[in-house]
Structure 1
Amino acid sequence: MRSRRARVAVIGVVVGLVTLAGGCASTDDPKANPSPPAGGIEGTVWVANEGGHSLSVIDAASSTVVTTIEGIEGPHNVQVGPDGSRVYVVSGHASTVAALDATTYRLASAAPTGASPAHVVLTPDGQRTYVTNYDAGTVSVYRPDLTPSGTIDLGGGPHGMRPSPDGSTLVVANLKAGTVDLIDTRTDRKVAAVPVGGPAVQVAVSPDSRYAYASVSRPPSVVKIDLQTRVVAGRAEVPTAPAQVYLTPDGRSLLSADQGSKDKPGTALSVIDTATMTPAGSIATGSGPHGVVIDPTGRRAWVTNVYDSTVSVIDLPTRTTVATINMGSQPNGISYAPRPPAPAEPRMSVVLPSPPAESSHGDHGGHG
């Protein structure tokens, strides 16, 4: 089985989205972060610092880091559960998915994954959790308490994924296969694979569950997929290889985090009109924008910048950066919860269960 480092080398050649293991010089000291007003937006932003082996918890109202949670090796993706009480994270080094209590920041449960876990999501009703396993070519399925309940074989290299808002379909970006794979959540079976013309990194699904949008690293673009006819319905070019994509709450605009590569990093989000699949402007970010999330009001977005280890806080009505927050090394995945963060010590830690010897996959690096 290939090591994680081999996986990074392959993706670096094919996708151009590699973040080096050393990362960029940065600090996740909360005292080093600015505290500008956030225009009335409250909530908590969770960031997975893959190179820093930590999670950062940001107060959205003040744009300050409340706490840094250490002890999670190589976290690539993080996801707040539907009711906000749990936060889920994948640890690539430990081949583990873990759930943290969002109030105490303590470990609530954990379970083993397949080889090289990439992303974790939950169904809208919170009854199932899914993890893509890049090297295994599978998706692991869990009950709410992370009890394993099945494995879905996709082949290729499944990476990013999101469920449709109606809960009927799990949409998976299969990076190696160059497809967007569709899973029926009633049966947990793959029902379609839609070719998108290149490595698919992450997806977003429209509020009415009719369309999916996939970031494609080569050629750099965002593809629109009709989930009823299961064909590509449009494509928009972007300046450089995109990582994550995220829709505004009304579904009319899509933000593409155009990361690029370390040698030629992107420095902006592309704004795409989803009806016409045409560019509608751009928003400046830090170096290598990777993860992006928007609050439910559509007024604020947060973007992880992997090459300068920061998070950009974006005011969407004016399309300007209103704060830049220092993170741990290689901030990647990002997720938002409407509830304000609970008080905490500046640094905390969790201890994950040790994986079986055969589940260890060596060093971890970043990718889409």
Structure 2
Amino acid sequence: MVRLVLAAALIVPSGTIAAQSLVITNKQDATASIISLADGKTVAVLPTGDGPHEVAVSADGKLAVVTDYGAQLAGRTLTVIDVGTRRVLATHPFGDHQRPHGIAFLPDNRTVVVTAERGGAIVLIDAVTGAVTAEHAVGQPLGHMVALSPDAKTAYTANIQPGTLSIIDLAGGSDPVVIKVGTQTEAIAAAPDGRTVWLGSNNTGLVFVVDLNSRQVIDSVQTSGFPYRIAFTPDAALAIVTNPESDEIWLIEATTRAIRTRVDLSSSQGGKRRPFGIVVAPAGDRAWVTMSASAEVAEIDLRTGTVARWMATGQVPDGIGYAR
């Protein structure tokens, strides 16, 4: 299903390009933090809608869009941030849908692809105008997270309750392809080489590898706890998995599926840090991981598998994006 909608009022982002920074959603505070990577300091804390879960940053580093998932009441908005000027540009309605969650930018640096957890759809929204430009059926309930193919022509959703992967042609005209993967599939990442999609199973600790040519599960990796989020290095050599229950991230060789290392993120003071969201630097040498229980973000040196530094966030940080 595809629906086209006319554009709304224009909101123009500034021409300012931010220095390297992180944009992090703080679920408990209903805010987004912008952290400068030059010194690790928070340079802005901006209001969002209730329960901000995920965030996507445009490739040019100018815009960040936060999904306002909601708390007790279902969220129905997206918060648009000008990263360079560190201000909220707009709060856009989420079409006719509720519970926006997974989000990714298209290469035009203004269109975002967002999962409608209630509604069984992905929604394409112009972040500048707020217009809903298209909707595509997922074909399954609880489409939670979304990933894009390297050419951004195909979207992939992890559908929690049925334990499936949906493959959606963003050009429209065809029904989604649905592949049974496992159970409680939430985490998802598409390999940058376009060959596989990886999904995490919350209740088994398994990370499944789906071959996009055969459209079948070809392998799995057993992790501890549950694999909350997955990200790849740009060269597709390494998959990084966050495990909040074991307070670790796992670095997995993408080709062999061998475990390169497990990075222990537990606190020396006791108590859980619970690593959640993850983003990888364009150079592939660093990753940043939010700590939901300790209000921190860790900078990980992927070459050595060690923590380079810790930075403070708001309360219950979750989604994270990188602005170059």
Report TM bin, short chain.
Answer: 0.7 to 0.9
Identify the match of residue 147 of structure 1 among 131, 149, 155. Answer: 131
Q: Distance in 2 between matches of 1:256 and 1:233?
A: 18
SS at match of 2:176: strand
* Unaligned stretches of 5+ residues in structure 1: 1-41, 261-265, 339-368
Q: Does 1:197 align with 2:174?
A: no
1:1-368 maps to which residues of 2 (within 5 A)? 43-93=20-70, 94-113=75-94, 114-126=97-109, 128-145=111-128, 146-154=130-138, 155-187=140-172, 189-260=174-245, 266-286=246-266, 287-338=273-324
Q: Distance in 1 between matches of 2:51 and 2:231?
A: 23
TM-score by length of 2: 0.85
* 1:90-123 CA distance string (max 9 Å, x none): 1123410122112222333432222211122122
Whether contact under 8 Å (1:192, 1:230) holds in the other structure is no
- Match in the other structure for 2:11: none
Q: Distance in 2 between matches of 1:253 and 1:190?
A: 32
Corresponding letter in the other structure for 1:102 = V
In the TM superposition, residue 71 of structure 1 has moved relative to its aligned partner by 4.2
In the TM superposition, residue 166 of structure 1 has moved relative to its aligned partner by 1.1
- Match in the other structure for 2:10: none
Q: Distance in 2 between matches of 1:81 and 1:141?
A: 14
**Cα distance, 1:327–1:184 mapped onto 2, change above 3 Å:** same
Q: Distance in 1 between matches of 2:205 and 2:173?
A: 31
Q: Distance in 2 between matches of 1:67 and 1:122?
A: 22
Q: Distance in 2 between matches of 1:50 and 1:283?
A: 25
Q: Distance in 2 between matches of 1:50 and 1:96?
A: 14
Structure with the larger helix share: 1
Whether contact under 8 Å (1:314, 1:323) holds in the other structure is yes
Corresponding letter in the other structure for 1:116 = R
**Cα distance, 1:190–1:55 mapped onto 2, change above 3 Å:** farther
**Cα distance, 1:112–1:210 mapped onto 2, change above 3 Å:** same
State which drifts further: 125-134 or 233-242: 125-134
State which drifts further: 204-213 or 120-129: 120-129
Q: Distance in 1 between matches of 2:137 and 2:115?
A: 10
Q: Distance in 1 between matches of 2:126 and 2:173?
A: 13
* 1:298-355 CA distance string (max 9 Å, x none): 12111011122211111111211121222211100001111xxxxxxxxxxxxxxxxx
Q: Distance in 2 between matches of 1:197 and 1:131?
A: 23
Whether contact under 8 Å (1:181, 1:190) holds in the other structure is no
SS at match of 1:255: strand
Whether contact under 8 Å (1:152, 1:189) holds in the other structure is no
Whether contact under 8 Å (2:82, 2:88) holds in the other structure is yes
In the TM superposition, residue 231 of structure 1 has moved relative to its aligned partner by 0.9
Structure with the larger strand share: 2
Q: Distance in 1 between matches of 2:196 and 2:152?
A: 14
SS at match of 1:67: strand
Whether contact under 8 Å (1:50, 1:73) holds in the other structure is yes
In the TM superposition, residue 150 of structure 1 has moved relative to its aligned partner by 2.9
**Cα distance, 1:215–1:104 mapped onto 2, change above 3 Å:** same
In the TM superposition, residue 233 of structure 1 has moved relative to its aligned partner by 1.6
Q: Distance in 2 between matches of 1:300 and 1:325?
A: 14
Whether contact under 8 Å (1:111, 1:148) holds in the other structure is no
Whether contact under 8 Å (1:223, 1:236) holds in the other structure is yes
Between the two proteins, what is the percent identity of the paired residues?
25
Corresponding letter in the other structure for 1:198 = T
Higher RCO, 1 vs 2 (CA within 8 Å, ≥6 residues apart): 1
TM-score by length of 1: 0.75
